[in-house]
Amino acid sequence: MDLTPVDIVRKDLQSVEARMKEVPFPSPAPVVESLERLLAAGGKRLRPALSLLFGRMLSVPDDPLFQLSASLEIVHTATLIHDDLVDGAPVRRGIPTVSSRLSAGAAVLAGDFLFAWAARLAAATGSIPVVQKFAGTLGAIIDGEIRQMSSADMDCTLAEYEHRIQSKTAALFEVSCMGPALLAEDSAAADRAAEYGRSFGMAFQIADDILDYTGDSADTGKPAGQDLRQGLVTLPAILYFQSHPEDPDVSAFRAGKNETGLRARLVDKIRLSDAIEESRRCARRHIDRALEALASFPGGLHRKALEVLVSSIV
Residues near Mg ion (CB under 5 A) are 83, 87, 208
Q: How far is the CB of 234 from Mg ion (least distance, A)?
A: 8
User: Which CB, 87 or 307, lies closer to ligand IPE?
Assistant: 87
Q: Is 176 in the site for ligand IPE (CB under 6 A)?
A: no
Q: How far is the CB of 79 from ligand IPE (least distance, A)?
A: 4
Q: Which stretch binds ligand IPE (CB under 6 A): 27-35, 41-49, 61-69, 246-254?
A: 41-49
**Binders of ligand IPE: how many residues, by CB under 6 A?**
14
x/- letters, 263..302, toward ligand IPE (CB under 6 A): ----------------------------------------
Residue 222 interacts, among ligand IPE, Mg ion, none and using kind-specific CB cut-offs from 5 to 8 Å, with ligand IPE
Q: Which of 9, 49, 83, 307 binds ligand IPE (CB under 6 A)?
A: 83
Q: Does 44 bind ligand IPE (CB under 6 A)?
A: yes
Which residue in the set 16, 20, 46, 175 belongs to the binding site for ligand IPE (CB under 6 A)?
Answer: 46
Q: Is 205 in the site for ligand IPE (CB under 6 A)?
A: yes
Give the whole-angstrom CA distance, residue 37 versus residue 21: 11
Angle, vertex CA 147, rays to CA 243 and CA 205, nearest 5: 60
Nearest distance, CB of residue 245 and ligand IPE, angstroms: 26
125 is a contact residue toward ligand IPE (CB under 6 A): no
Q: Is 93 in the site for ligand IPE (CB under 6 A)?
A: yes
Least distance from ligand IPE to the Cβ atom of residue 230, Å: 10
Query: Residue 79: which of ligand IPE, Mg ion, none does it interact with, CB under 5 to 8 A by kind?
Result: ligand IPE
